[in-house]
Amino acid sequence: MSEFLKLVSPSEALALLMHSLPDSGPEEVLVNTLEAAGRVTAQDVRAPHPLPSFPRSSMDGYAVQARDTFGASESLPGYLAIKGEVPMGAEPAFAIQSGQAAIIHTGGMLPENADAVVMLEQTERTRNDEITIYKVVALGENVILGGGGCSGRGDRGTAWNPNPAGRNRGLHGTRNYAIAGSHTAENWDTLLWR
């Protein structure tokens, strides 16, 4: 059984592996992004802009300036005037100032000067034009910054699973460079690790 116990150094093992690989690399082809899942990028992928390109709310509530909530609690709430409502899918037509809040829905674009969102459950509508806030929010709380969905970056050799492939489609359309043939990420994994 000594034929099964022949050990080689890591550098020799790497040389044996490299010698067994084809001399030319996999063919580079342009494929539809929907078919890119499981493939490996043949070049760096960079987005022309972050996706989405604006900060948005991660929940229903009120867009505020975080500093306006400092000190707010159940026993000593804060009060803010309601400036307006941010319509879904639209850019707010107004900015908020200190002492103001805007009604915002999950995924809605934050109005100018807003830097946090107070959850709806942590507020009470006391008058038609005013809310009571029962909890402090920190700067950036309940906010997804621009590019939070995707930074629009993939380095050469990155395996694209359905999530990045979908983001890539949102950033670049329906095309993506990928290494073609049978050399998908799963096959390379099998080749290198089994």
Give pLDDT tens digits for 99-154.
Answer: 999 999 999 999 999 999 999 999 999 888 999 999 999 999 999 887 655 555 56
Question: Residue 140: left if φ>0, alpha if ψ -120 to 50, beta else—which one?
Answer: left
pLDDT at 5 over 50: yes
Cβ pair 189, 58 in contact under 8 A = no
Instruction: Identify the residue whose tokens are 């395996």.
Output: 159
63-92 mean pLDDT: 94
**Quick check: 71 pLDDT over 70?**
yes
pTM of the model: 0.59
User: Which domains does the chain carry?
Assistant: 26-51+148-193 (3.90.105), 56-144 (2.170.190.11)
